[in-house]
């Protein structure tokens, strides 16, 4: 097998990249010291998180000059995400730290007046020359494919500026901002998106780089008239609630209002509902076109050492066949191992990232941290799980999963919490309600409302909110639109709507009536009532932009 050298200079989830490289027929050799770079023929520089931190780490480790020497020697070089940003002059994210200065542009933060930041999801990488100089593109980038991006800073695109100096550029558009999604010249190639998380389209691009396939002619039917409008698609996420069944095997389960035990049946009454095997089901959803897969380990690690939790094995196996982002939730908090050793939330998250997760999702611990945040007069301690994980791995790696329940009141003055006037009064005729946060899988309610939680965790550095709703969970009656609108209005980070999906129409309804960034389904997929592709086909028919799975074309 041919080899590619890779630099792992900051904590980052590189396992999925290694899996993707293996999948396209190459193996990774790690660069452990600057002198290893002399032996590198092909070099990949991945990167996540903070621009200044990444560049300072490279500089401190003595890597900057050997990287420049590799690039000037003409040997193949690929930068991914912050690895792309490193090639530029610098970034607004840290004005004191310069980039390599190979491309005379600086990264700017997305203007966040009208859109969620970070920019998370599937967007284009459209070669700017398509349609002007024939029908070819660089490194297999296809104008009708979508690629997975996650970043808050981007290189703004000025037509012609870089092309005049021999660069090939592919762009994406987020809201009204067009930015550089990929760039190449000679031996250099870099992508702002993550090819290893971009399904078949990403694997094609990675393979093209590794095989030195710089320019490719596109199929004649490739549309040259694709518009440069906002290219971000509506994200559809498949969620697998996983727990040990009564025989101790991890199974995918699903309940309603968080009760996952069978209610009737002579043989099944009281047992954990078993809907299938986690790895197989995740693969099936990937093949159906799920844009992300989320695992919620709803009983986290009971009775076994943290490092042996079977969930780690599930992630490892899943990440070998699923090339879209994987999120894992459940039990991410400071914890004590079965032998009494303390393990920090960051250590737990690190185990998950090393096993192939791209994001971790924090539930109960986020609620406790938010209560402490308000208790301390809205002061950050730097010590919470959210802060420590987002500092080490970047905000995009931290999702907060929220499990709220409606609490009705007669008048807003009857509570200190933020209320909404609902179109759906309760049986007592009360139409005001607030959304109360819960912990431990809904078993304990807390004196905190969902907006307070969302604002606190945004301040701590969470990158995304997974917004469940216990009242709607497993109901098949559609999402709680009022809840989503309430939370979206309070924060800038993306929100994933969850709980209640029962049909493709429910997904159209949520995208039409709220600004949610993504929508998640569980039971309807697990019970085989609809596939992810059926949901996407329906959304597409209704005029929403979705990523087609490559097999559908
Ligand atoms: O608190 O950090 O250990 O995390 C525990 C995680 O497990 C939380 O994210 C919490 O939401 C989840 N969880 C705990 N108990 C349950 C349960 O069901 N008994 N599952 C549970 C929550 C919520 C969604 C669900 C949607 C969509 N599941 O992921 O899949 O409601 O369902 P639907 O489309 O079928 O309506 P911590």
d(CA 488, CA 494): 8
Q: What residue ranges define each of the domains in the chain, with the CATH number in brackets?
A: 2-229 (3.40.50.880), 237-402+463-546 (3.20.20.70)
Mean pLDDT of 174-183: 96
Q: Phi and psi (nearest 5°) for 150? A: -155, 105
pLDDT at 267: 62
What distance in angstroms lies between residue 441's CA and the mean position of ligand 1's atoms? 7
Cβ(371) – ligand 1 distance below 6 Å:
no
Cβ(85) – ligand 1 distance below 6 Å:
no
DSSP three-state, residue 183: strand
Confidence of residue 390 (pLDDT cuts 50, 70, 90): very high
289 marked as part of a ligand binding site: no
499, 509, 516: which to mutate for ligand 1, most atoms within 8 A of CB? 499
Q: Please, are residues 429 and 342 in contact by the beta-carbon 8 Å criterion?
A: no
pLDDT at 469: 98
- Nearest partner of 362 among 492, 500, 457, 470, judged by Cα: 457
- Give the model confidence (pLDDT) of 3-42 as tens digits: 999 997 766 678 899 999 999 999 999 999 999 999 999 9
Residue owning the nearest CA to atom 19 of ligand 1: 258
255 marked as part of a ligand binding site: no
Q: What is the DSSP string of 80-144?
A: ETHHHHTTEEEETT-TTS----SEEEEEEEPP-SSS-SSEEEEE--EETTTTTS-SEEETT--TT
Kindly list the catalytic residues: 81, 194, 196, 241, 403
Cβ(118) – ligand 1 distance below 6 Å:
no
pLDDT at 489: 96
Cβ(253) – ligand 1 distance below 6 Å:
no
Q: Which of 68-82, 125-139, 298-312 has the highest mean pLDDT?
A: 68-82
521 marked as part of a ligand binding site: no
């Amino acid at each position: 097998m041919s080899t590619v050298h890779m630099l792992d200079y900051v904590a980052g989830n590189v396992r999925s990249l290694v899996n993707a490289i293996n999948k396209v027929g190459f193996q990774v050799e790690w660069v452990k010291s600057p002198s290893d770079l002399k032996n590198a023929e092909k070099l990949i520089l991945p990167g996540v998180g903070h621009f200044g931190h990444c560049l300072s780490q490279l500089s401190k480790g003595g890597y900057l000059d050997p990287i420049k020497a590799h690039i000037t020697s003409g040997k193949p070089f690929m930068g991914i995400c912050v690895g792309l940003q490193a090639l530029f002059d610098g970034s607004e994210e840290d004005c004191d730290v310069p980039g390599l200065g190979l491309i005379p542009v600086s990264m700017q933060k997305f203007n966040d007046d009208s859109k969620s930041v970070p920019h998370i999801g599937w967007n284009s990488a459209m070669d700017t020359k398509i349609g002007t100089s024939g029908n070819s593109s660089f490194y297999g980038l296809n104008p009708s494919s979508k690629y997975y991006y996650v970043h808050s800073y981007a290189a703004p695109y000025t037509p012609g500026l870089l092309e005049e100096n021999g660069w090939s550029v592919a762009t994406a558009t987020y809201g009204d901002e067009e930015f550089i999604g990929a760039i190449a010249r000679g031996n250099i190639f870099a992508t702002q998106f993550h090819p290893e998380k971009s399904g078949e389209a990403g694997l094609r691009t990675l393979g093209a780089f590794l095989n030195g396939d710089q320019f490719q002619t596109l199929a004649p039917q490739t549309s040259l008239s694709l518009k440069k409008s906002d290219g971000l698609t509506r994200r559809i996420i498949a969620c697998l609630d996983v727990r040990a069944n009564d025989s101790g095997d991890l199974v995918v389960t699903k309940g309603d209002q968080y009760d996952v035990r069978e209610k009737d049946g002579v043989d099944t009454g009281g047992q954990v509902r078993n809907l299938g095997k986690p790895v197989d089901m995740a693969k099936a959803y990937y093949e159906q076109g799920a844009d992300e897969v989320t695992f919620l380990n709803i009983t986290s690690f009971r009775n076994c050492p943290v490092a042996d939790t079977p969930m780690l094995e599930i992630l490892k196996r899943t990440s070998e066949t699923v090339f879209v982002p994987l999120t894992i939730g459940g039990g991410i908090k400071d914890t004590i191992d079965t032998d009494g050793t303390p393990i920090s939330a960051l250590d737990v998250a690190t185990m998950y990232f090393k096993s192939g997760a791209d994001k971790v999702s924090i539930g109960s611990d986020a609620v406790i941290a938010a209560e402490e945040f308000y208790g301390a007069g809205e002061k950050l301690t730097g010590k919470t799980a959210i802060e420590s994980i987002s500092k080490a791995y970047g905000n995009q790696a931290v999702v907060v999963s929220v499990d709220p329940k409606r609490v009705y009141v007669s008048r807003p003055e009857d509570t200190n919490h933020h209320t909404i006037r609902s179109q759906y009064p309760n049986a007592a005729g009360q139409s005001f309600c607030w959304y109360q946060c819960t912990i431990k899988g809904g078993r304990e309610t807390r004196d905190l409302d969902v907006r307070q939680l969302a604002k606190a965790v945004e301040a701590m550095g969470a990158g995304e909110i997974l917004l469940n709703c216990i009242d709607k969970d497993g109901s098949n009656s559609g999402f709680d639109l009022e809840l989503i609108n309430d939370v979206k209005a309070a924060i800038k980070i993306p929100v994933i709507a969850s709980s209640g999906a029962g049909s493709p129409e429910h997904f159209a309804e949520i995208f039409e009536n709220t600004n949610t960034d993504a929508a998640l389904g569980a039971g309807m997929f697990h019970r085989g009532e609809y596939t992810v592709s059926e949901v996407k086909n329906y959304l597409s028919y209704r005029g929403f932009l979705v990523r087609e799975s490559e097999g559908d074309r």
